[in-house]
Amino acid sequence: MRRFSLKSLLQEAASGHQGWERQWRAPEPKKEYDVVIVGGGGHGLATAYYLATVHGVTNVAVLERGWIGGGNTGRNTTIVRSNYLFDESAGLYEHAMKLWEGLSQELNYNVMFSQRGVLMLAHNHHDVISFKRHVYANRLNGIDNEWLSPEECKAYCPPLTISPDIRYPVLGGALQRRGGTARHDAVAWGYARGADARGVDIIQNCEVLGLKRHPDGSVAGVETSRGTIGAKRVGVVAAGHTGVVMGRFGLRMPVESVPLQALVSEPVKPVFPCVVMSNAVHAYISQSDKGELVIGAGTDQYVSYSQQGGIQIINHTLDAICELFPQFGRMRMLRSWGGIVDVTPDRSPILGKTPIPGLFVNCGWGTGGFKATPGSGHVFAHTLATGEPHRINAPFSLDRFRTGRLIDEAAAAAVAH
Amino acid sequence: MLLIDCPYCGKRPEVEFHCGGEAHIARPETPTAVEDADWGSFLYYRTNPKGLHAERWLHGHGCGRWFNALRDTVSDAFVATYEMGKPRPDRDATAASTSSNA
């Protein structure tokens, strides 16, 4: 792998940028791997990267049905934060946050992680109480989160209106200053480049069709559209299609797949300094470095794999955006799209073992998986390398839907996150 | 936005409806007699198919009645709607009934 540096940049500038090499190979699949990862999104690629760097497991393949980073990794609104209520979630997302903070250096790839702050607005008495509880719980877990008055919210985010005359006035907000955004494609590409350089095979256009098992029931490999590939362990990281893949393996999963939409505006000069989320009126907004306003809408109410959602969902979000930020009232939207997210009953992910020995799963990130990408990959790599969950992902077992030990962030946040 | 054919009112826009999730899930008669795994399966495990999905809908801003629907989750197209308590129509029957209803 050729490292990016000022020197390499200047050299290439002098030679017309003709010398850059491919960032990852396009290898033919080998007969057998130690670990096969199903799904080449951010989480799958991060898993492969940490298997190679932390655990020295380099005989690894990442199998991707389409192209890497083409699913929800390339479709989300790139918000990164870690101010979750419960200890288990806080542990997982804060683990990710710490990895985000050094990620560009570690990968030698600019993931454009920008800690511009994530402000969550409170619009009613219940919000205020709930968010203050979050602030206190987060501080006990060593996670920064602070309560702002409406005037302080306005000072932090000047486009915001704090007029008491709007339908749901701003009563305050919880601010995580370390939160922010990152460049989603760069996260997939950076991990892919780093994993490939350490020997991981990234195999695109390779759909997994079935599971091969030993007579004792344990994993022997996977059947794919490019032939049979042997594997000692298999990790499924297939996001919205986890249910489909696991169905081919004969397993049911406690997830339902629903469309989640986002949209961007025409690009404008820098007008929006931070990330603002409003759960109550449902609006998520930030500004990309290209200048587009990046806006996250809600999920549709029904199961779907169509990668498109109802127009009323994005209209509802735009109504909220225009009410909170009147200056955007005449802004034109450039494009909208949908991704398929796999939602668990308790809105927390599933990371760990399955009933089949040698088969592991990392799914159920629902509407908020991007922020966890480095941490998810890191602990899932540990799980795949050792066969046992890491301390951080142990509570996120599939078995919790039998024992009833749920991590009920859905109730805690009162909204998809 | 989906156009949903309420069996009582006819075709109406999706905003009048609420989706009640997968249909035909029977609550175990005696919950205390059920193993944890089976109870968990009843509570949390859904079919989540990529294809035909039987689901419940409530026409809340209309007749206020529940009904079932068969919908393709790839195209989001409704194949059939039918009354609560009726069995899930099979594929051939739905092809015939939708054409006769249309």
Interface test with B, best of A314, A402, A403 (most B CBs within 10 A): A402
Among the partner-chain residues A241, A254, A303, the one whose CB lies closest to the CB of B44 is: A254
pLDDT at position B21 is 97
Give the predicted TM-score (pTM) of the model: 0.95
User: In this complex, which of A303, A311, A403 lies closest to B48 when CB atoms are compared?
Assistant: A303
Name the DSSP letter for residue A114: B
SS3 A44: helix
ipTM of this complex prediction, to 2 decimal places: 0.91
Contacts of B71 in chain A (CB under 8 A): 302
Cβ <8 Å between A257 and B48: yes
Query: CA-nearest residue of chain A to B2?
Result: A310
Encode pLDDT of A41-75 as tens digits.
Answer: 999 999 999 999 999 999 999 999 999 999 999 99
Residue B92 is predicted with a pLDDT of 57
Per-residue model confidence (pLDDT) at position A81: 96
Q: Which segments of chain B are extended strands (E)?
A: 3-6, 10-13, 18-22, 52-58, 66-72, 78-83
Contacts with A, B 82-101, CB within 8 Å: none
Residue B102 confidence (pLDDT): 36
Angle at alpha carbon of residue A376, lines to B43 and A389, rounded to 5°: 70
Give the strands of the sheet with B78-83, arranged side by side. Answer: B18-22, B52-58, B66-72, B78-83
How far apart are the CA of A95 and the nearest CA of chain B, in angstroms? 28
Please judge whether B76 and A243 are an interchain contact, meaning their C-beta atoms are less than 8 angstroms apart.
Answer: no
* B19, B55, B74: residue with CB nearest A305: B74
The pLDDT of B30-55, averaged and rounded, is: 96
Q: What is the pLDDT of residue B96?
A: 46
Name the pLDDT band for B98 (thresholds 50, 70, 90). very low
Partner-chain contact A402 B45, CB within 8 Å:
no
Q: Which residue of A has its CA nearest to B45?
A: A254
Does the distance separating the beta carbons of B74 and A301 come in below 8 Å?
no
DSSP class per residue in A324-347: H-GGGTTPPEEEEEEEEEEE-TTS
Q: If pLDDT is split at 50, 70 and 90, which confidence band does B91 have?
A: low
Nearest CA to CA, how far is A355 from chain B (Å)? 12
Chain A nearest C-alpha distance from B34 (Å)? 12
Residues in chain A predicted with pLDDT less than 50, given as ranges, are: 414, 417
Query: d(Cα A121, Cα A128) in Å, to the nearest integer?
Result: 9
Helices (H), B1-102: 36-44, 91-101
Q: Smallest Cβ distance to A310: which of B1, B41, B50?
A: B1
pLDDT over 90 percentage in chain B: 87
Per-residue pLDDT at A378 = 98
CB contact under 8 A, A254 and B46: yes
Contacts of B29 (CB under 8 A, 6+ apart): none
Amino acid, single-letter form, for residue A158: P
Minimal-distance CA residue of chain A relative to B35: A402
Amino acid at A89: S
pLDDT score recorded for residue B93: 53
